[in-house]
Amino acid sequence: MAEHATHVPGLAHHFVSMEQQKEAGTIGMWIFLLTELMFFGGLFLAYAIFRYKYPDGFLQGSHLLSVPLGGLNTFILILSSLTMALGVYYSQMGDRKKLVAFLTMTLLLGLAFLVVKFFEYKEKFDHHLFPAIGFWNPAADHPPEQYHQHVRVFLWIYFAMTGLHALHMIVGAGILITLIYLARKGTFTKEYNSPVEISGLYWHFVDIVWIFLFPLLYLTGFHVSGGH
Amino acid sequence: MATEVMETTSTRNYLNNGHTVKSWLLTLDHKRIGLLYLFSISIFFAIGGVYASLIRLELITPEGDLMTAETYNKVFTMHGVMMIFFFLIPSIPAVMGNFLLPIMLGAKDVAFPKLNLLSWYIFILGGSLMLITMINGGIDTGWTFYPPYSSIYSNTQVTLAGVSIFITGFSSILTGLNFMVTIHTMRAPGLTWFRLPLFVWAHYATSLIQILGTPVVAITVLALALERTFQIGIFDPKLGGDPVLFQHMFWFYSHPAVYIMILPSMGVISELIANMTRKRIFGYHFVAFSSLAIAVFGFLVWGHHMFTSSQSMYAGMVFSLITYAVAIPSAIKIFNWTATIYKGSVSYDTPMIYALAFIGLFTVGGMTGLFLAALGLDVHLHDTYFVVAHFHYVMVGGAIIGYLGGIHFWWPKMTGRMYPEVWGRISAAIIFLGFNLTFFPQFVVGYLGMPRRYHAYAPEFQVLHILSSAGASILAVGFIMPVFYFAWSVKFGKKAGNNPWMASGLEWQTSSPPPTENFTYQPVVTHEPYEFEHVEEIKNAGKLENKTA
Ligand SMILES: [Cu+2]
């Protein structure tokens, strides 16, 4: 059985063919994203339960977040999804230059998101709105005192969800840096480009999580009070 | 016979392909990774066993004379944590699944060999953290980690233990992910879904639970660690948190986790019964789909752990009903196995003794589960020794019995040597007797009102506790014996040959132990599983291929 496929570049020895390897990688990533969904799901459940319990705490908490900054980040991420999709497209075309360009753009947009997020977090820390014991010490009117405890519940959910999301963005940035390095070396060709496509799935997933986080966390006020 | 000896000694196999420590610690071979897991989980099993012995020693007398209540809390917690997270969850999938699944599929390896090795390292990292926790005095929350005790009041290393469980969960996720992708993409030519051995179906269903359930417990213990460190009001009612939310999230994983432990065992039992009775499994499709049904229904019953913790009556009724429903696929398996045995040519070698023990003990475990699923009765039985006895009938009488049966059955494939049959039968009998003597009295003492997790008890329960402790010592002997005769057999056991059981299945067509690449030829599957008329013919064909390769 002399099907010694080992000389095909990028094909691992335990796979029979490139198609099998690509299929395995793609299914593997989809399953991984399913686990991610369940992972975030625990926090979405906590969000649903506590929002039901403390609607006014969530309203007041939402008022503390900056809709313009959140909106800007939403725009940045949607744009980065577009550049990532174009990157995947050009990797399949075998266009190395454009692949590197779009991957770099995606990386920069991802970093821009993290920078904006950093300033949002910093503002919360400055106002002692980080809900940890010994740190939590908000001003009496920001938010109004009678809501403090329930806003605190909102804010731990905010920090847990966006923090976990930001962590995924940082991992995504690491993946992009690796991809850019490999793409510049010329690893990806028309025949072998599944790492780009599979990483693209991950990037889009992280974006989609944000698409849910933004309205749930930032726009609660718009829903409950009809805008402010 | 002579040719078979030639066959196994002359070929290079996965065991003699590299002898250095490095060749083991950096191996990407699924068979070696399976053995790495076998060694590591055996150590955790021994540690969990020592804690079990301490529990049974304390309970010989009604007074708490051997240890304080606080020490006892730590002892039963560490027993549960070690046995569940570090032995039962990885047991069959990580050892036999890793070793057998690619061979059963006719593949060279799992889809992602590096992730497979990574999963073992993650397991070892998580396990080491738990050992550090243990050396620092252990934890006293019970393996269920209920807040607010765990988040505020416990003075033990709950955060470290939580981090350990969090990390270990990822090794389980990676194993499940790897298996699922492997089953989807790496089946040999001709190996359609309904030609898969039932072991593979069971592992597919298990992987589904590992993938969907484990991330939820990961986020739950992460939240618990955050709550304990920062006191941010997730589970602490004083801060607006919700302690019952923890129970919901915890059991959303931990009930299906019971099926992570029992489903692979059911897969093993299907293989044992078919091969030891030389008959096709009666109702193959039903047995295959019942695994999936258990996996799916298993996600919808978690509320039966909260009948007495503020859950609404209507939710309780629904959870009770679905819990009854999940008994149906389990019963389908039991009925189909017994129907398979009927008029089969049954051999009573050790693996079959384990299979028969499984049928009996799992039936008791499953039926008593229905007692607990009944809303009214559960109020009486909740948190008593009846529950303890019930889940030990499922976990030991089911999961561990299946694990041991499988190890005996595939030992010749893993090592190329037979274990000593007489000793195998004796230890299986000892385990069966010791097990029943340990846990049957616990049903009675629980029904009479003895609560779980107490180090002292009313004097009228003493006779039953002494019976239980006596059974535990017999059980311990039964568990220790295989360690010795398996070790002995590696050097002195009879050479096994390719197929000592004349079993069906691709793993029996390759040599024992298998070569690193599993097959020296590309296997092609032309038959349904368990067609024993073809075994002889396949065997000869396999030999022919071996010679030409
Ligand atoms: Cu349960």
Cα torsion A43, A49, A51, A53: sign: negative
Comparing alpha-carbon positions, the chain B residue that sits nearest to A31 is B177
Q: Which of B506, B512, B354 is nearest to B418 (CA)?
A: B512
Query: Is pLDDT of B527 > 90?
Result: no
pLDDT of residue A227: 43
How large is the C-alpha radius of gyration of chain A? 21
Please provide the average confidence, as pLDDT, over all residues in chain B.
93
pLDDT of residue B4: 43
Token pair in block for residue B203: 């592992």
Query: Is pLDDT of B6 > 80?
Result: no
Rounded Cα distance, B485 and B493, in Å: 9
Comparing alpha-carbon positions, the chain A residue that sits nearest to B188 is A16
pLDDT of residue B548: 39
pLDDT of residue A135: 87
Residue B157 is assigned to a structural domain of this protein: yes
Say if the Cβ atoms of B219 and A39 lie within 8 Å. yes
pLDDT tens-digit readout, B495-507: 999 999 999 999 9
Q: Longest Cα pair distance anywhere in chain B, in angstroms?
A: 75
Fold of the domain spanning A24-224: Four Helix Bundle (Hemerythrin (Met), subunit A) (1.20.120)
pLDDT of residue A223: 52
> What is the percent of chain B with per-residue pLDDT over 70, rounded to a whole number?
95
Mean pLDDT of B512-537: 87
What residues of chain B lie within 8 A of the CB of A23, using their CB?
Answer: 184-185
Q: How far is B236 from chain A (nearest CA, A)?
A: 11
Comparing alpha-carbon positions, the chain A residue that sits nearest to B545 is A1
pLDDT of residue B9: 46
Q: Which residue has the tokens 């197929």?
A: B499
pLDDT of residue A132: 87
Say if the Cβ atoms of B232 and A23 lie within 8 Å. no
Residue B5: band (very low, low, confident or very high) from pLDDT cuts 50, 70, 90 = very low
Say if the Cβ atoms of B112 and A153 lie within 8 Å. no
Residue A212's identity, in one-letter code, is F
Rounded Cα distance, A79 and A85, in Å: 10
Token pair in block for residue B222: 């992460």
CATH number for B48: 1.20.210.10
Task: Please give the residue range of the domain that contains residue B444.
Answer: 20-271+278-494
Q: What is the dihedral of CA B155, B157, B162, B164, to 10 degrees?
A: -170
Say if the Cβ atoms of B180 and A32 lie within 8 Å. no
pLDDT of residue B538: 60
Q: What is the DSSP string of B151-192?
A: III--S-HHHHHHHHHHHHHHHHHHHHHHHHHHHH-PPTT--
pLDDT of residue B310: 84
Residue B474 is assigned to a structural domain of this protein: yes
Asked if B255 contacts B302 with a C-beta cutoff of 8 angstroms, the reply is yes
Say if the Cβ atoms of A28 and B177 lie within 8 Å. yes
Q: How far is A46 from chain B (nearest CA, A)?
A: 8
Asked if B412 contacts B494 with a C-beta cutoff of 8 angstroms, the reply is no
pLDDT tens-digit readout, B54-91: 999 999 999 999 999 999 999 999 999 999 999 999 99
pLDDT of residue A20: 92
Element (H, E) at B498: none
Q: How far is A35 from chain B (nearest CA, A)?
A: 6
Query: Is pLDDT of B456 > 50?
Result: yes
Secondary structure string (H, E, C) spanning B211-264: HHHHHHHHHHHHHHHHHHHHCCCCCCHHHCCCHHHHHHHHHHHHHHHHHHHHHH
Say if the Cβ atoms of A24 and B185 lie within 8 Å. yes
Domain total in chain B? 1
Comparing alpha-carbon positions, the chain A residue that sits nearest to B230 is A132
Residue B14 is assigned to a structural domain of this protein: no
Kindly give the distance from the C-alpha atom of residue B524 to the centroid of ligand 1, in angstroms, as a whole number. 41
Q: What is the mean pLDDT of each run of 10 residues along chain A (228 residues)?
A: 55 89 94 96 95 92 93 97 97 94 97 97 92 86 86 94 97 97 93 93 97 94 52
pLDDT tens-digit readout, B368-407: 999 999 999 999 999 999 999 999 999 999 999 999 999 9
Token pair in block for residue B521: 């030829």
What residues of chain A lie within 8 A of the CB of B230, using their CB?
Answer: 131-133, 156
Q: How far apart are the first and last CA of chain A?
A: 72
Of B109, B226, B245, the CB nearest to A49: B245
pLDDT of residue B549: 36
Q: How far is B434 from chain A (nearest CA, A)?
A: 40
